[in-house]
Structure 1
C-alpha cells in the first residue's frame, strides 16, 4: 500500500513573531518529504523506536481521537517514518510526521478539500499544536498544519489563518529566496527558552512590537504582491534588527556572513524556524553575486523572481 507523502515547510516570515501575534507566511517545500512505511533496516529501527514512544503518547492523551490500536499494531510490525527532511533544520521534520500520523490514524479527519473555513483551519492548528508538543515541549501547530495542507498559509493573527496564493515564480529571474546550511542542526526548545527570557524585558517587548513586527508584516505584504523594491528595503531593516536582537539564535558560523549581507546590500539573511543551527533564509536580487559572497556555504534556491 502506498502512503501519501508529506512535505517540508518553510516559514518565510514570522518566526518568533507568530508567538506574539505578528503575521506569518509559511510555504510548503517539496524538495524534502516523508511517508509512513514498513521495512527492516537500521534507519527504520531508529525511527520505529521514536514511533513507539509517540504511540504511547497518543494512547495516553488522544485515545478518543485516534485509532491507537491500529497505530500501535503497525508500529509493532516495524512501521517507520521514511523521511529525507533534515531534523533540527527548521523545515518541519516533526510537523510532517504528525501530519502523516493524523492522516492515517485520526478517527474523524477534517476534510481540507471541501469548504475549508478559517474555523476548520484554526481547529486543525490547535490539535496539531497539542500533537507536536510531544517533540518540542510547546508547539504552535503551524508546522504540521502546513505539512498536512501542502499550500501556502497566511497568518493574520493567532485566530485568523487562511490559505493564500503567491506570485508565480520566474525561473529565469536573477532574484532568489534561498536556504543556507549552517552545517549543524539546532534544537528548538533552548531557542524558544531564550526568546521567552528576552520577552521578560520591557525594552525587548517594545522593540519587537514597534520594529520587528512592523518590518515583518510589511515584508509579507510586499512579497505577496510581488513588490520587490519595498520588500528589500524592509528586509534590510528586518535583517539588521535580527542581527542585533536575535544574535543568540543566529548559528555562530553564519554571524560574519549575516553582517556581510547587510554591509554589502547584496543579500539579507533571516532565521528559518527557531534558529540555533539548521538552515538560515537568504533573500537577494542577484543570486550569482550573493553566491560569490557565500561560497564557503551550501546554498539551495527555493524561489526565483
Structure 2
C-alpha cells in the first residue's frame, strides 16, 4: 500500500477504501442495517419487475417507467453495496483502479437516469390527469421507448467525463480513499494537480440534471394541481390526487437525500467526515429501498397482484 508524499504514481493499480473513517470499530454493526436495506431493495425491485412483466393489465406507460426505475435502483445498489459490505465484514478494502472508475461511472450515470425517469413519471401523470383522452395516443409504446433511450443516453454521456478525468490525474499523496465507495469528490482530493475542471463540470452536470428536471416536475405538478382543484367534487379531487402520491413520495425519497448530501459537501469543513459518508450512503441506499415499497403499498394494481396467491389460498 502506497502512502507516501514523495512517491509519484500516475495511475495506482489499486485504491484502498477506508469505509467510514472514525467508525471502523462499528463497521460490523453498521453493516446490519445496510445489508437489510440492500436485501429489501433487491427483493422489492425484482418483485416490481416480475409483477409488471406477468400482468398484462400493467403493460402501460406508468408501469414501463416504473420498471425503468426499478432497473436503475438495482444497478445503483449492486454497483456499490456488495463491495461496501465486503469491506465491513471481511476487511476487503482494495479496489482495482479500473473497477473504481467503473463504479464511479455507474453511480453518476444511473443517478442521472433515475432523475430523468422521475421526470418521465411526472409527464405520465400530467398527461393522464390534464389530458386523459389523449393519454393512450400521446404516450405510445414507441414514445415511451424513445423517452427511455433519451434518459439512458443523457445519463451515459453526462457521466462519461468523470472516469476520464480521474484517469488523467497524477496521484502522489496516497491511494487511500476516505470513503466506503469510489466517490468522485473523495478521489479528486487525492490528485496532485488542479481539479477545478472536475468541479466546474460537476456544477454543469447538476444544472443539466437537477436544474432542468426539478423545475419540469414542479411545473407539471402546478398544472396537475390546477386540474385537480377544478374537479367538481371533493371525492374526485382526492381520488385523482391519490394517483400522484406514490410518485411524489419517490421524488422526495430521491431528491431530499441528494440535497442533504450536496449541502453537507458544501460545508464539509464544519461536518465530521463520518457524517458526510453516512449521508452519502443514505443517498444511494434509501431510494432503491423505498421506491418498491411506496409503489407496492400505494398502487392498488401492484398490491392486488402481489396478494393474489394469498387471497386465493385463503378462499
Q: Structure 1 length as normaliser, TM-score?
A: 0.30
Which structure carries more helix by proportion? 2
Higher relative contact order (CA 8 A, sep 6+): 2
Q: Structure 2 length as normaliser, TM-score?
A: 0.29
Q: Which has the larger radius of gyration?
A: 2
